[in-house]
Chain A
Amino acid sequence: MERRATRVALTAWTVLVVLFLWIPLALILLYAFNKSNVESWPISSFTTHWFHAAWNSEVRSALWLSVRVGLTATGIALVLGSMAAFGVARFRFFGREAISFLLILPIALPGIVTGIALNSAFLAGHILLSTCTIIVGHATFCVIVVYNNVLARLRRSSPSLIEASQDLGADGWQTFRFVIWPVLSTALVAGGLLAFALSFDEVVVTYFTAGAQNTLPLLIFGYIRLGQQLPVVNVIAFAMILVTAIPVLLAQRLVRDAGLVRGAGAAAH
């Protein structure tokens, strides 16, 4: 359809952008083998020592905490986010517009604002900062990711489907099981996956809501600060890409339509 020159130019541009995204990642891998803990270019000698060093108890417990926080925050987000989306999509009520606007705020507002607002709220409420305050902090933006995904899906699916199901004599559970769930499931998977990804890599809000715990990003920041074991950080970052490639690929297969894309759009934080 497009002219040949346009197609070639667009292809070249896309290749360049993908390279732009991936060259730094390739360097991260390369530096994971750097023998010296002072990173410079070109790398003079290589070692696999840091791969052992990275699997220490500190990293393990931070990883475990990050996984727990991510899963719980995502779980809360799936429940609350889809409820909110149902409310906004299906019912008309006073202030509906305002609420849909307010629900956007947590992803649109800078993380540092969210972070210090929550921090001072916890302080004012005499709530000790702990794993669960991190979860609450993460849930604020995870909810929105799920909400956006589900809302977009509901908008595109017609409400008449549900009416038809009811007219045909299905009860509430059947309608949910056979009509709503098939429509929603991919949106939930996409939203949940992205919510988890966001939570897993969050630094700013976590910093202001964490107590004596280190999530993986906080631990990485600690490692970067003093630079004693910088290559360990590279190992972690690289392992993360490898490990997460699996769920991303799976989800991509699962969600063939635009669901994941829309989710990713809403994923920022």
Chain B
Amino acid sequence: MKRNIRGYVLLAAFTAALCVPASGVSASKGLPTSVGKGEGKLNLIAWEGYTQGQWVKPFQKKTGCKVHAHYAGSSDDMVTLMRQGGGTQYDGVSASGDASLRLIYGKDVQAVNPKLIPDFKNFIPALKSPPHNTIKGVHYGISLQWGPNTLLWNTKKVKPAPTSWSSIYSKKYKGKITVPDNPIQIADAALYLSKAKPSLKISDPYELTQTQFNAAISLLKRQKPLIKKYWALASDEIGLFKSGDAVIGASWPYQTNTLKADKVRVKDEIPKEGATGWADTWMMSAHVQHPNCMYKWMQWVSTPKVQAEQAIYFGETPANTKACSIMNKLSAGSAQQYHCGASKKYFNSIKFWKTPISKCDNGKNDCMNYSQWQQAWTQMKG
């Protein structure tokens, strides 16, 4: 057995020798004022579809930064991945609003200088310093794209066309409803309750007191027997609608477009209660190893052409208003379809995802935080 033990010692030594490169570079204080030469490499955590060869290849050619992308399965994944290896593993992340505050408060990402991003001035005003990535005037990332969480239905099976979120809580479509498998879905319930039950006085669906939170959870518990499946992947929902397993549900424009392209009779709308939405931000790790490449990347993905390409590929809306005309060139009518350069009124009808934290806007510390949301969601699904 001695040999054997020696074997494991060897394995451990082998691991240590191979797996422990020099440890991380510490983040420098103060914002950079210029972007230096690229480091030749860039490690990103991205949503699938955010690092397509279509715009990554020209970037690599132009900057010499070789992009390695790791696709995250969920916002929770993104936070976990960003903390790996003391945060030195990845240079940046395309965080959605339900992860960005966690990353900021967890000190996983660092402030960036928007002055180094030439296209920043063309962003729609609401996405220059949105509350999900900018705190007290400090920018912790550069907005990328956004989109609403819409109500999607099969026009052949669901008549008359629904106008309210109440249809996904109604027995009428029992067993044919699908909603995202994401704790942030509690906010959708809260948003609906803010209109349906004004007595709860819900003003922000992401800042819920215990009473408001319980009301949302009990609504979701009543909804559970009506649900066919909580979809986890975008392709889940596409499959459900295509096969007829679901006829109505909460969705992203991406699914609607894919289904329409496949000639499934579907339509999506923002119901009268308004909708939640997501807005993604490229954020830079607090322990970034390739800062210049990361800045170059943020510059690149903010340019109108890349913004338009990504918007059309994924089915979302660019932050850069200059991208709208290019979108229409790439695919006629797409800018209107995605509300590119949306009016303030449209934009304000969407309650963008942000991480629930204990500290409410009312200054009290009595709101439910994200881990409570997550636990309640798991327990509700049972």
Query: Which residues of A pack against B, CB within 8 Å?
Result: 36-40, 56-58, 76, 79-80, 83-84, 86-88, 91, 93, 96, 99, 122-123, 125-130, 132-133, 136, 139, 210-214, 218, 221-228, 230
B84 at interface, CB cutoff 8 A: yes
Tell me the chain B residues, 79-116 only, with Cβ under 8 Å from chain A: 84-86, 88-90
Instruction: Verify B85–A126 contact, CB threshold 8 A.
Output: yes
Q: Which residues in A have their C-beta under 8 angstroms from that of B11?
A: 76, 80, 136, 139
Q: Whole-angstrom distance between the alpha carbons of A87 and B4 in the complex? A: 7
Instruction: Verify B84–A79 contact, CB threshold 8 A.
Output: no
Q: Distance (Å) between the CB of B227 and the closest chain A CB?
A: 20
Q: Distance (Å) between the CB of A105 and the closest chain B CB?
A: 14
Of chain A, the residue at the smallest CB distance from B69 is A212
Give the contacting residue for A213; candidates B20, B70, B258; CB below 8 A: B70
Interface centre among A91, A221, A222 (most CB of B within 10 A): A222
Say whether, besides A93-B1, A211-B85, A80 and B8 are in contact (CB < 8 Å): yes
Question: Interface residues of B toward A: which range?
Answer: 35 or more
Extra 18 A-B pairs, beta carbons < 8 Å, given A80-B7, A213-B68, A228-B258 = A38-B239, A38-B262, A40-B242, A83-B3, A83-B7, A99-B1, A123-B85, A126-B86, A127-B20, A128-B88, A132-B15, A133-B19, A212-B43, A222-B71, A223-B48, A224-B233, A225-B71, A225-B235
Q: Whole-angstrom distance between the alpha carbons of A126 and B21 in the complex? A: 10
Instruction: Verify A38–B18 contact, CB threshold 8 A.
Output: no
- 20 of the cross-chain contacts (CB-CB < 8 Å) are A38-B239, A38-B259, A39-B242, A80-B8, A80-B11, A83-B3, A96-B1, A122-B19, A127-B16, A127-B19, A128-B20, A128-B89, A132-B18, A133-B19, A212-B43, A212-B70, A225-B234, A228-B49, A228-B258, A228-B313
Instruction: Verify B48–A222 contact, CB threshold 8 A.
Output: yes
Q: Whole-angstrom distance between the alpha carbons of A227 and B48 in the complex? A: 10
What is the predominant secondary structure among interface residues of chain B facing chain A?
helix
Q: Whole-angstrom distance between the alpha carbons of A80 and B259 in the complex? A: 52
B333 at interface, CB cutoff 8 A: no
Q: Which residues in B have their C-beta under 8 angstroms from that of A126?
A: 20, 23, 85-86
Q: Whole-angstrom distance between the alpha carbons of A125 and B86 in the complex? A: 10
Q: Whole-angstrom distance between the alpha carbons of A37 and B254 in the complex? A: 14
Q: Distance (Å) between the CB of A116 and the closest chain B CB?
A: 10
Of chain B, the residue at the smallest CB distance from A72 is B18
Instruction: Verify B84–A123 contact, CB threshold 8 A.
Output: yes
Instruction: Verify A226–B70 contact, CB threshold 8 A.
Output: no
B73 at interface, CB cutoff 8 A: yes
Instruction: Verify B258–A136 contact, CB threshold 8 A.
Output: no
B53 at interface, CB cutoff 8 A: yes
Q: Whole-angstrom distance between the alpha carbons of A87 and B5 in the complex? A: 10
Q: Which residues in B have their C-beta under 8 angstroms from that of A139?
A: 11
B238 at interface, CB cutoff 8 A: yes
B243 at interface, CB cutoff 8 A: yes
Q: Whole-angstrom distance between the alpha carbons of A180 and B11 in the complex? A: 25
Q: Which residues in B have their C-beta under 8 angstroms from that of A226?
A: 48-49, 233-235, 254
